[in-house]
Amino acid sequence: MRAGVVFASSLAAAVVGAAGLIATPAAAPQRAGAPRAVTYTRDVAPILNRHCVDCHRPGEIAPMSLTTYAEARPWAKSIRAAVATRVMPPWYADPAHGEFANNPRLADAEIATLTTWVDAGAPEGDRRDLPTSPIAAGGWTLGTPDRVVAMTAPAQVPASGPRIIADYAIEPLTFEADTYVSAIEVLPSNRTVTHHAIVNVKDAAGTRRIGGFQPGGATTIYAPGYVRLIPKGATLALNMHYNPKGTPQQDTTKIGLTLARGPVQKVVLTAMSGSRALDIPPGAANYEAVGTPYVFTADSHIVSLLPRMNERGKDFRYTLVAPDGRAVVLLSVPRFNPDWQPSYVLKTPIAAPKGTRLETVAHWDNSAANRHNPDPSQRIGFGPEIMNGYFDYTVDADVPTRTAAVR
C-alpha cells in the first residue's frame, strides 16, 4: 500500500475483497480430477499489484520491477523464496508493538498461490484475465485528483553540492471557503533527486504540515468522513529536499487534492514530538536524542505515526504515557530505512485523553558501517539530520455535523 493513511475499515474491506480473488488449487475442491491452474494474469498479478509493485516498479527502491509478466517471470524462484520466508514484503515496525492497517504482510493463502504458481512453471495464463494496473494515468496512485497544483517552474538541481532544502513557488490556489480534503498525493517528476517534500497550509494561525512525499509515503488518504481542513483564505506551500546525484537534473512536483464528499466526521490534525538539539559526532554509531513530548490538551485519538529521519537514522520509538505514568509503546522501528518511510497507520485509533504525553526517542548511526551514511567524518546537526516524530490525530469533541462542499 502506498497510502500514507488508510484506516482499518477501508483496508479491511480491500483485503476481504482481495481474498475473494484467491482460490488456490490446494484449497479448492478438485473438479473433473484436475486442479485449476494458477496463472500470472488471474492469480499472481493481483497479489503483486497489491503487495509488491509499490517498491518493485521503475524509480522505486527495489532492484527490479515486477509490474508485468515479462518482468516477474525471471524472478519466479526468488519470489517464491522471498515470500515463503516472509523476507518480502519488508516491514519495519517491531511486531511486538502495535497493529497497523497498512502492514503489507501476505496472507498464508497468498503465499500458497505464489508458491503453487512457481512450482507449476510460472505460467502466464490468459491475458484477458489481467487486472488493471494500480498505477493511474499521469502517475497518480489515488486516481485523478480534483485539483492539481504544480510548481510554477521546474526546480533546478545541480550535479553536485550540498543538499537543497527550500520552498518552491506553486500555482496559486485560493480557497474561498473552508475546504475539506479526503486525499493528498504528492507527485515529484524526478525521484532520483527528490528526497522528500512537505505540503504546508499557511494562514494567520501559522504554517502546518498537511501532506508530503517521502520514499514509501506519497499519499495521504482517509477513511470516509476523515478529512483535512484547508481553511478559507489559506494558501498551500511546498517545501522540497533535493540531493544532487552527479548530473544536473530538473524536477516539477505536483500536489493532487481529492475533495471530500459527504458528511465530515473528523478533521485530522498533524503534530509532532521531535528534537532539533542534534549534535552527532563523527563516527558515532548509536547517538541518542529524546523528543520534546507532545502533551494532549483535549481528549483525542491518534490515527497514524510517521517517524522522519535522514540517512543516518537508526531507530525510532513512540511511547504514550498516561497522566498516571502508565506507558505503552505505540511504534518501534528498530531498523529504520531512510529509503522507505511510510506512515504507520494504527489498525484502531488509540485514545489519548487530555494530559497524555506522546514521547519519542531515536538513534542515529554516523559510522562507516551504516551503508546509507554519505560521510562518517562529518559532525551532524539539525538540518542534515532531523528528528520529526509526526503523528496524525483527531479531537474527540470535533463536531461531526459539517458537510463537505465540492466545488
Instruction: Please give the residues from 199 up to 228 whose contact with ligand HEC meets the rule CB under 6 A.
Output: 216
Cell of 186: 504528492
Stretch that binds ligand HEC, among 57-65, 137-145, 180-188, 354-362 (CB under 6 A): 57-65
3-state secondary structure (DSSP) of residue 106: coil
Nearest to 382 by CA among 165, 197, 159: 165
Q: According to the binding rule CB under 6 A, does residue 1 interact with ligand HEC? A: no
User: Is the Cβ of residue 20 or residue 63 nearer to ligand HEC in the bound state?
Assistant: 63
Query: Nearest CA to 284 among 368, 367, 383?
Result: 367
- State yes or no: residue 135 binds ligand HEC (CB under 6 A): no
Q: What are phi and psi of 401, to 5 degrees?
A: -115, -15
Rounded distance, CA 355 to CA 233, Å? 32
| Residue 131 touching ligand HEC (CB under 6 A) | no
Toward ligand HEC, which CB reaches closer, 56 or 363?
A: 56
Which of 23, 62, 150, 329 forms a contact with ligand HEC (CB under 6 A)?
62
Helices (H), 253-380: none
Query: Looking at beta carbons only, is 216 or 307 nearer to ligand HEC?
Result: 216
- Of 77 and 245, the one with the shorter C-beta distance to ligand HEC is 77
Number of residues that bind ligand HEC (CB under 6 A): 20
Task: Verify binding: residue 134, ligand HEC, rule CB under 6 A.
Answer: no
Instruction: By CB under 6 A, tell whether 301 contacts ligand HEC.
Output: no
Name residue 319's beta-bridge partners: 329, 359
Q: Given the complex with ligand HEC, which of 79 and 240 has the nearer CB atom?
A: 79
Q: Which residues contact 341 (CB under 8 A, 6 or more apart)?
A: 196, 214, 215, 216, 217, 306, 307, 308
Decide: 304 and 346 in contact? Cβ < 8 Å: yes
Q: Does 321 bind ligand HEC (CB under 6 A)?
A: no
Q: Which sign, positive or negative, has the C-alpha torsion 215, 276, 92, 17? A: negative
CB-nearer residue toward ligand HEC: 110 or 392: 110
Answer for which of 82, 164, 351, 395 binds ligand HEC (CB under 6 A) is: 82
User: Is position 403 an interface residue for ligand HEC (rule: CB under 6 A)?
Assistant: no
Determine the length of the chain: 407
Nearest to 59 by CA among 183, 216, 199, 238: 216
Mapping DSSP to helix (H, G, I), strand (E, B) and coil, where does residue 137 land? helix
CA–CA distances in Å: residue 222 to residues 11, 51, 269: 10, 19, 12
Identify the residue among 318, 340, 391, 393 touching ligand HEC (CB under 6 A).
340
Nearest approach in angstroms of CB 279 to ligand HEC is: 30
Q: Which stretch binds ligand HEC (CB under 6 A): 59-67, 173-181, 195-203, 263-271?
A: 59-67
**Site track for ligand HEC across 26-55, x = CB under 6 A:** -------------------------xx-xx
State the minimum distance, in angstroms, from the CB of residue 261 to ligand HEC.
Answer: 30
- The residues, ordered by sequence, that sit 6+ positions from 34 with a Cβ below 8 Å of its Cβ are none
Q: Is 107 near ligand HEC (CB under 6 A)?
A: no
Q: In this structure, how many other beta carbons lie within 10 angstroms of the beta carbon of residue 330?
A: 22
By CB under 6 A, which span of 82-90, 169-177, 288-296, 399-407 interacts with ligand HEC? 82-90
Sole binder of ligand HEC in the list 21, 41, 68, 75 (CB under 6 A): 75
The secondary element (H helix, E strand) that includes residue 346 is: strand 344-352
The Cα 38–Cα 25 span in angstroms is 7
Closer CB to ligand HEC, 115 or 388, in the complex: 115
Cβ closer to ligand HEC: 62 or 321?
62
Distance linking the first and last C-alpha atoms of the chain: 29
| C-alpha to C-alpha distance for 309 and 215, rounded to whole angstroms | 12
Residues that bind ligand HEC (CB under 6 A): 51-52, 54-56, 61-63, 75, 78-79, 82-83, 88-90, 104, 106, 216, 340
